[in-house]
Amino acid sequence: MENSRSTSIIFFAYTAIVLIGSINCRDNNNDNLVTNQSALFVFGDSVFDAGNNNYIDTLPSFRSNYWPYGQTTFKFPTGRVSDGRTIPDFIAEYAWLPLIPPYLQPSNGQNQFTYGVSFASAGAGALAGTFPGMVIDLKTQLNNFKKVENVLRSKLGEAQGKSVIARAVYLFHIGVNDYQYPFSTNSSVFQSNPREIYVDFVVGNTTAVIKEVYKIGGRKFGFLNMGAYDCAPASLIIDQTKIGSCFKPVTELINLHNEKLRDGLRRLERELSGFKYALHDYHTSLSERINNPSKYGFKEGKKACCGTGPLRGINTCGGRMGVSQSYELCENVTDYLFFDPFHLTEKVHQQIAELIWSGSTNVTEPYNLKALFELN
């Protein structure tokens, strides 16, 4: 209880400092809009979404702006698909940045972009055909970044705008929806191509966006490889004859993806002068916690805190499948790895963020994010 109280005090003190910093930035003098901190620009899916899907025309199943999401730290739903803070929230804290807002948030001031912004969208994929019309796909996220880049150059001037882009760190998590989507609907691209070619499309689209960001001036990038979502509670109940078993068709795709992403980043490092990156082995980090929860301070590694059915693997959390839909909610969320059938709790996010931020080369390599933020 005392530890929890201390954590809350530290968090709110940090928030106060950040808010004061934001207020001090609101000055008509452009010099005051530029900070010495590297900005954080976030691309991806529900693992990183800070609430962009709150502002798009989509189904309730692609939003998390209702209780009990957000119950732990914010005490209200923000659109983050968790009980509290996400990995980018912790990375921002470690980098002494404010909470990175969603790009579509109406209250965004242009000066806030100097600290960065999140383009991530729950359900998004690297392929435009993944949940089309329901999410903000990766290419659209890139187009939104280009708009921000134009705002920065216009507001700050060419030199200072270019400096913000060059100093910034670009954080990515994308692809898992591309591998889950074909098993929930008919995908002509998936059905008409060998698995390896399909993975090439996903990784190829991702690296194409990285190259575009590099072309604009980005040099420092952070990535998570694909986590063991084939063993998330939702995946563990897909095959009703093997409840509790990982979903092997997705396992194959995830393993291929991680090999190709690693090789693709190494290739970019050779081809692009000044390209620096941190790649966290999220697959191993998550697998270890699923299989050995008690080692990391959890009681449940395979059952969700919120949902219904076996392992609470049916995603009814917060009435996600309909207003009248009931759901179960655990008493102590800190005992759980998964908050809902597919998304992690704040406690896990903090553990993973620490590994990305300052982990050794056996978990995050060739740089960690702390090293990237410190690079000029």
The percent of residues in the chain predicted with pLDDT above 90, rounded, is 81
Single out the catalytic residue among 89, 137, 230, 340: 340
Which pTM does this prediction carry? Answer: 0.90
191 neighbors 181 (Cβ within 8 angstroms): no
pLDDT reported for residue 324: 56
Q: Is 59 left (phi over 0), alpha (psi -120 to 50) or beta?
A: beta
Would you call 340 a catalytic residue per the annotation? yes
pLDDT reported for residue 172: 98
Write the pLDDT tens digit of every residue in 344-363.
Answer: 999 999 999 999 999 999 99
Rounded average pLDDT over 15-43: 55
Write the pLDDT tens digit of every residue in 94-139.
Answer: 999 999 999 999 988 766 799 999 999 999 999 999 999 999 999 9
Write the pLDDT tens digit of every residue in 27-40.
Answer: 334 444 455 789 99
Single out the catalytic residue among 46, 64, 121, 235: 46
Query: Measured between alpha carbons, how far is 96 from 179 in angstroms, rounded to an integer?
Result: 35
- Residue 15 pLDDT grade (very low, low, confident, very high; cuts 50, 70, 90): very low
Could you tell me which of 97, 135, 98 has the C-alpha nearest to residue 119? 135
Could you tell me which of 38, 108, 92, 132 has the C-alpha nearest to residue 353? 92
pLDDT reported for residue 299: 98
- 214 has a pLDDT exceeding 50: yes
pLDDT reported for residue 191: 80
Would you call 46 a catalytic residue per the annotation? yes
342 neighbors 49 (Cβ within 8 angstroms): no
pLDDT reported for residue 64: 94
pLDDT reported for residue 9: 42
- 16 has a pLDDT exceeding 50: no
Residue located via tokens 């890139």: 142
Would you call 349 a catalytic residue per the annotation? no
Residues with Cβ within 8 Å of residue 319, at least 6 apart in sequence: 60, 66, 325, 326, 327
Average the pLDDT over each of 62-66, 78-82, 201-205 and give the range with the smallest value. 62-66
Query: Measured between alpha carbons, how far is 358 from 237 in angstroms, rounded to an integer?
Result: 35
